[in-house]
Amino acid sequence: MAQYPPVMRDLPAFLYGGDYNPEQWIREKDTVWKKDMELARRAGINTLSVGIFSWSMLEPREGEYRFEWLDEVMDMLAENGMKAVLATPSGARPPWMAEKYPEVLRVDGYRRRQLFGNRHNHCLSSPVYREKVRAINTLLAERYKDHPALGMWHVSNELGGECHCPLCQEKFRVWLKDRYGEIENLNDQWWNTFWSHRYSSFGQVESPSPIGEGCSHGLKLAWRRFVSDQFCEWYRWETEPLRRITPHIPCTTNLMEIFWDINYFDLGKLLDRVSWDNYPRWTNDDRDAEVAAYTAFNHDLMRGAGGGKPFMMMESSPSAVNWQEVNRLRSPGLLMLQGMQAVAHGSDTVQYFQFRKGRGSCEKFHGAVVSHDEREDNRVYREVCRVGERLKTLGDIPGSAPENRAAVLFDWDNRWILRDAQFGLNPDKGYEQTVIAHHGAMLRCGIGVDVIDQTSDLTGYRLVSGPMTYMLRPGFAEKVRAFVEAGGVYVSTYCSGWVNEEDLCFMGGFPGPLKDVLGVWDEETDALDETQRNHFTWQGKRYETKDFCALIHPEGAKALSEYEDCFYRGYPVLTENTFGKGKAYYIAARTGMDFLTDFYQTAIRQAGIAPLIPDLPRGFLCAERAGNKGRFLFVMNTVPRENTVCLPDCRDAETGDTVKGKTVFAPYEVKILRV
């Protein structure tokens, strides 16, 4: 049973709070700041993230630093018993820097230098930008290293994007030389004889561009890997002075769900705690069951990126956000569900964006703890208080973590490579949705699921699912083989085992090196349009297939069901292969949730995993955390209507009451049970 140290040394309980920009109210600080502290305290808030976009207030002119206001903020937090998640300001730079040093501005794919504006708009290769960031980070660390409010570093904000300037091109070429050694090797790996693409020197390689190279999959994949590596290198570089001057203070940067630009399994390894920004598109109707399942996937992904440790929900909205197409309010109980769901999956924090709404610019109507009315008797503030009160009573939970025996693979390199591949259905093959569907089907069976990638260790799991594992990294097939041989259950699907890590196809038939463990040969793959379906019957129930149908031949595996239509009627659609002590399944076609849920019931049983709650009714989700203070089972009604579930015999962790059998949950109600 794992028990992890608290997020911050001297704040062992849950962190509760959010992004706070007091500098936007500097002219009214005597009234506004004072009021903020009262409202924060009364809501149970113990942490505020400050300084996130403060550069132009900290260094209004080059070399002219103004830390006095931040000193006051830090003192004020300490006086009110709160901790600061203190940000480095590199998420947005001040106008003077762009004016004096245009090299800090990003260049887009069309090779156009951007103007000053927005945020996240800087070139990571620019020596000037690096020098400026290093200087201000060093000053911040020196100034606050012994400050009692300093709890954690929040490095930059939501790292992302890319720059195509000459400096970045040079860095890309160095990265390529490092990976491929010789240009001839790069040419071979990228299949550059195609369309006369053989380079004679690294100097000829340019990043992908809408006015240049857009077809070389080798190049595009290398660029994605380079951009992601550049952010990891940047994070290490930004934190260097923080780690040196304040080695006792943990560092993080806030991630964004299934974000495209960065391989979070790589970046996550560098963070003391993974933190992320959770903005579900809640609908306030029955579809919230799907929204909650999608959110659960993201929580599990973030925990996975951090190697299984508890993580931090760094941002979430206390009410409607303002940038989604439809920005629904949080109907009663939903804010509690949003916070408790994060905790259920391993978050040791509930943080909001934002603490107080600004008066101007583009986020003034984004949900906040303190609204423009500045009142305590409004609905949102009262709900925020309720969440704060509840967290205070859950002090045994932080530091514990889920102990799951099932995992689903979500691999960034596979994502990048599959998006470019041209076959079947273009442009989007639906990799992300497919992984999320498999994860969701397992959740619906009432088990906890980890999200891992191909570099993860499989030992310890009993069931591993790798939907659409099109690309196999070196050594991954061997890992799967050892896992199944030792008794594990592995699930594979269509579009698996086609290419190696450089996007070169496996010769000798798909699924390449997975052929023996899966016991099938995947000969061809058919694509269906939205109107077309095939069918199959399994265990007496008839199901539909859609989108992708692979035409496979068992080579060792046993066919469990066959296609019923089209010229491949009679070909297997589901196979089972016994390999060593384990089993490997191959699902040859894309199906609906009905089949996936039924299938995983069987696979889970086969793997010997006991559900946390058997026969979980629709609309419910559950998750468990275990630590040295006990095991906590979270049962969540994710829909805005009463819903009934049969609970195991145990005690309610909050009321101490015994619970047992059929129990009615209120809309969005979450119960936490001690098991």
Q: Which residues bind Zn ion (CB under 5 A)?
A: 123, 125, 163, 165, 167-168
Name which of 97 and 369 has its Cβ closer to Zn ion.
97
Q: Which token pair is 594?
A: 């009905």
Name which of 168 and 369 has its Cβ closer to Zn ion.
168
Amino acid at 340: M
Residue 157: which of 128, 118, 120 has the closest Cα?
Answer: 120
Residue 577: which of 503, 457, 485 has the closest Cα?
Answer: 485
Residues between 579 and 608 with contacts to ligand GLA, criterion CB under 6 A? none
Marked catalytic residue, from 23, 59, 103, 158:
158
Compute the distance between CA of residue 181 and CA of residue 186 in angstroms, rounded to an integer.
Answer: 8
Residues between 124 and 143 with contacts to ligand GLA, criterion CB under 6 A? none
CB of residue 559 to ligand GLA, shortest distance in Å: 48
Those residues whose C-beta lies under 8 Å from the C-beta of residue 244, and which sit 6 or more positions away, are 141
Name which of 163 and 255 has its Cβ closer to Zn ion.
163
CB of residue 207 to Zn ion, shortest distance in Å: 10
Among 162, 238, 272, 315, indicate the residue that binds ligand GLA (CB under 6 A). Answer: 315
The alpha carbon of residue 233 and the mean position of all alpha carbons in its chain are separated, in whole angstroms, by: 20
The DSSP 8-state label assigned to residue 200 in this structure reads S
CB 509 within 8 A of CB 523: yes
279 binds, among Zn ion, ligand GLA, none (CB under 5 to 8 A by kind): ligand GLA
Among 36, 59, 277, 669, indicate the residue that binds ligand GLA (CB under 6 A). Answer: 277
Phi, then psi, of 441 in degrees rounded to 5: -65, -40
**Residue 257 binds ligand GLA, judged by CB under 6 A:** no
370 binds, among Zn ion, ligand GLA, none (CB under 5 to 8 A by kind): none
Q: Which token pair is 497?
A: 């085992």
Gap between the terminal Cα atoms of the chain: 14
**Residue 353 binds ligand GLA, judged by CB under 6 A:** yes
Name which of 12 and 210 has its Cβ closer to Zn ion.
210
Residue 559: which of 549, 571, 569 has the closest Cα?
Answer: 571
CB of residue 68 to ligand GLA, shortest distance in Å: 24
Helix (H, G, I), strand (E, B) or coil at 631: strand
Sheet strands side by side (includes 311-316): 251-252, 150-154, 83-87, 47-50, 15-19, 347-352, 311-316, 275-278, 254-255
Residues listed for the chain: 675
Name which of 256 and 589 has its Cβ closer to ligand GLA.
256
Name which of 140 and 321 has its Cβ closer to ligand GLA.
321
530 tagged catalytic? no
Q: Give the β-pairing of 47-50 and 83-87.
A: parallel
158 binds, among ligand GLA, Zn ion, none (CB under 5 to 8 A by kind): ligand GLA
CB of residue 349 to ligand GLA, shortest distance in Å: 15
CB 136 within 8 A of CB 57: no
- Please report which helix (H) or strand (E) contains residue 491, including its range: strand 489-493
**Residue 157 binds ligand GLA, judged by CB under 6 A:** yes
Which residue number places its CB atom closest to ligand GLA?
277
Compute the distance between CA of residue 360 and CA of residue 337 in angstroms, rounded to an integer.
Answer: 30
CB of residue 85 to ligand GLA, shortest distance in Å: 12
- Please report which helix (H) or strand (E) contains residue 312, including its range: strand 311-316
Inter-CA distances, 314 with 194, 510, 644, Å: 46, 42, 32
Compute the distance between CA of residue 115 and CA of residue 105 in angstroms, rounded to an integer.
Answer: 7
Name which of 173 and 356 has its Cβ closer to ligand GLA.
356
**Residue 321 binds ligand GLA, judged by CB under 6 A:** yes
Helix (H), strand (E), coil (C) string for 216-277: CHHHHHHHHHHHHHHHHHHHHHHHHHHHHHCCCCCEECEECCCCCCCCHHHHHCCCCCCEEE
642 tagged catalytic? no
168 binds, among Zn ion, ligand GLA, none (CB under 5 to 8 A by kind): Zn ion
Name which of 315 and 522 has its Cβ closer to ligand GLA.
315
**Residue 279 binds ligand GLA, judged by CB under 6 A:** yes
Among 158, 411, 547, 669, indicate the residue that binds ligand GLA (CB under 6 A). Answer: 158
CB of residue 362 to ligand GLA, shortest distance in Å: 9
**Residue 355 binds ligand GLA, judged by CB under 6 A:** no
163 binds, among ligand GLA, Zn ion, none (CB under 5 to 8 A by kind): Zn ion
157 binds, among Zn ion, ligand GLA, none (CB under 5 to 8 A by kind): ligand GLA
- Residues 442-481 as x/- pattern, contact with ligand GLA by CB under 6 A: ----------------------------------------
Marked catalytic residue, from 59, 315, 383, 624:
315
The set of catalytic residues is: 158, 315
Would you tell me which residues interact with ligand GLA (CB under 6 A)?
157-158, 277, 279, 315, 321, 353, 363, 366
